[in-house]
């Protein structure tokens, strides 16, 4: 019975790959004074090349509409050292007296999607980058949408999916999440409610969609959480926009007792969101993300990324990457384990969970796990400190490396 349950879990994780991908986040930090100010910053969106951050700012006297009318789009660019430059107002082409926001960035960085009224028409607009400048916004026709019930939009980089937060007659409570999709002719569907698994009697706002279109991130005060609004994620099932896994909190590292929303994540490595956790108006925060392809055991106390960095060093990757069709460990891998063991050998409360992620093949799973475990034991880590009970052979995206992951817990 247990064997068949194990097979079922593996099958589900392979068929629904998003279900097995969990993130660990570092402690969030402010993006700094070049972006955050004494006014309110929200809705951060990163360009595809990672060099431009778009966000909205309210209560700034330099806004096009002044200090007390709406929000303007602001822009910050990274310098050659990877530091964010001083943010500047995007100007009157994109901004007016209403609430302005960038709600999507085209995958080739040649267009952005905007929210507000342009040329006396309300709705979603796009602006193209040509001749080294941005064009005036042009309104996009999407049936069933108006700004009167607007809370938030997100357009995916390929401009095929539009997520909306709004309140309508068919909403379950306050603001609900809806989706519009574009068909092969370029026509948009009418908004469709994402259903009661996602939407509650409270509000659901600030949606963001993963690049593969299978996971949604959003903020809500209707799901169990710890604050005014917390950030959650849920995975699509069976290719449906109405069938979802139960929403899960993004984690206590990101969520706080205050308002946390407008979450977005890029390249499985960095996330941005808005929060008023320090009191007063909201600022933009960032956190590093590490992808873990395995569901953790809830009874274990896993070390945070910061704790792991303090334990073995911030530049040490505690993963053993095997060559394809091999389970032999190299001299460099043996050296890595020797180094890690020397860091933890006397800290007997620290244990190691071994998990395996397979690339294009699923050969040598047992042999690779045994090779790593045997080496740890030979270096002095007792068998009671090595946990292989949650190991799974998961076939992930083509081209992924074959890796035995070392995860530390107490």
DSSP 112-156: EEEEEEETTEEEEEEEEEETTEEPPPEEE--TT--GGGEEEEEE-
Q: Are 282 and 40 in contact (CB under 8 A)?
A: yes
Q: For residue 323, what pLDDT band results from cuts at 50, 70 and 90?
A: confident
For the record, the structure tokens of 94 come out as: 């994109």
Share of the chain above pLDDT 90, in %: 37
Q: Which two tokens stand for residue 137?
A: 């916004």
pLDDT at 264 over 90: yes
Which residues does 324 contact at the CB level (< 8 Å), separation at least 6? 359, 360, 361, 402
φ/ψ of 372, rounded to 5, equals -70, -45
The answer to whether 149 touches 167, Cβ cutoff 8 Å, is yes
3-state secondary structure of 266: strand
pLDDT number for residue 297: 63
Q: Across residues 213-236, what is the average pLDDT?
A: 87
Triad 8, 14, 20: Cα angle to 5°: 90
When pLDDT is cut at 50, 70 and 90, the band that residue 39 belongs to is: very high
- Is the pLDDT at 168 greater than 90, yes or no? no
- Report the pLDDT averaged over residues 151-155: 85
- Per residue in 77-102, pLDDT (tens digit) is 988 878 899 999 999 989 988 888 99
Six-digit token pair at 241?
């926009």
Q: Quick one: pLDDT band at residue 375, thresholds 50, 70, 90?
A: very high
What whole-number distance in Å separates Cα of residue 170 and Cα of residue 99?
25
Predicted local confidence at residue 296, as pLDDT: 56
- Look at the block and give the residue holding tokens 């519009």: 180
In terms of Cα–Cα distance, which of 99, 89, 115 is closest to 37?
Answer: 89
**409 beta partners:** 302, 351
For a pLDDT cut of 70, what percent of the chain falls above it? 83
What pLDDT, on the 0 to 100 scale, is given for residue 258? 92
pLDDT at 398: 37
- Residue 10, pLDDT score: 37
Residue 149: pLDDT over 60: no
Tally of CB atoms within 10 A around 146: 10
Q: How far apart are CA 228 and CA 284, in angstroms?
A: 17
pLDDT at 360: 43
Pairing mode, strands 215-220 and 204-209: antiparallel
Residues paired with 166 in a beta bridge: 150, 176
pLDDT for residue 350: 94
Which tens digit of pLDDT belongs to each residue from 231-259?
999 998 888 898 898 898 988 889 999 99
Residue 18 pLDDT > 80 = no
Q: How many CB atoms lie within 10 A of CB 2?
A: 6
Tell me the pTM.
Answer: 0.68
Residue 376 pLDDT level (bands cut at 50, 70, 90): very high
Lowest mean pLDDT among 1-10, 171-180, 248-257, 398-407: 1-10
Residue 357: per-residue pLDDT = 61
In angstroms, the Cα distances linking 395 to 270, 321, 361 are: 24, 15, 7
Strands 150-155 and 161-166: antiparallel
Alpha carbon 83 to chain centroid, angstroms? 21
User: Does 159 have pLDDT greater than 80?
Assistant: yes
At 60-81, the pLDDT tens digits run 999 998 888 889 999 999 888 7
Instruction: Check the CA dihedral 170-173-179-180 and report its sign.
Output: positive
């Amino acid at each position: 019975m247990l064997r068949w349950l194990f097979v079922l879990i593996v099958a589900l994780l392979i068929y629904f790959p998003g279900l097995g991908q969990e993130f660990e986040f570092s402690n969030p930090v402010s993006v700094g004074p070049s972006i955050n100010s004494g006014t309110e910053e929200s809705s951060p969106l990163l360009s595809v090349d990672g060099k431009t951050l778009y966000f909205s700012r309210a209560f700034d006297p330099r806004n096009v509409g002044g200090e007390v009318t709406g929000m303007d789009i602001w822009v910050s660019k990274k310098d050659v050292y990877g530091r964010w430059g001083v943010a500047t107002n995007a100007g009157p082409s994109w901004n007016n007296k209403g609430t302005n926001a960038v709600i999507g960035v085209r995958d080739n960085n040649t267009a952005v999607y905007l929210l507000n009224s342009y040329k006396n028409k309300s709705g979603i607009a796009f602006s193209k980058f040509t001749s080294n400048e941005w064009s005036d916004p042009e309104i996009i026709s999407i049936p069933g949408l108006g700004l009167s019930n607007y809370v938030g939009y997100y357009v995916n980089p390929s401009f095929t999916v539009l997520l909306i937060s709004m309140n309508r007659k068919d909403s379950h409570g306050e603001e609900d999440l809806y989706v519009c999709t574009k068909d092969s002719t370029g026509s948009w569907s009418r908004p469709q409610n994402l259903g009661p698994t996602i939407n509650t009697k409270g509000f659901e706002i600030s949606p963001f969609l993963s690049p593969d279109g299978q996971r949604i991130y959003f903020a809500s005060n209707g799901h169990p959480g710890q604050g005014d609004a917390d950030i959650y994620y849920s995975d699509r099932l069976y290719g449906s926009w109405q069938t979802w896994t139960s929403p899960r909190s993004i984690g206590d590292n990101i969520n706080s007792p205050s308002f946390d929303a407008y979450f977005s994540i890029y390249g499985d490595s960095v996330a941005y969101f808005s929060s008023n956790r320090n009191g007063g108006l909201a600022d933009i925060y960032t956190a590093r993300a590490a992808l873990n392809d395995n569901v953790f055991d809830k009874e274990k106390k896993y070390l945070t990324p910061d704790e792991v960095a303090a334990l073995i060093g911030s530049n040490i990757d505690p993963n053993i990457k095997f060559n394809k069709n091999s389970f032999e460990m190299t001299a460099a891998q043996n050296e890595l384990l020797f180094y890690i063991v020397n860091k933890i050998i006397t800290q007997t409360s620290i244990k190691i969970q071994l998990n395996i992620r397979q690339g294009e093949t699923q050969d040598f799973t047992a042999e690779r796990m045994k090779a790593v475990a045997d080496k740890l034991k030979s270096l002095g880590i007792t068998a009671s400190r090595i946990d292989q009970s949650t190991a799974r052979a998961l076939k992930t995206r083509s081209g992924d490396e074959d890796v035995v992951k070392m995860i530390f817990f107490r």
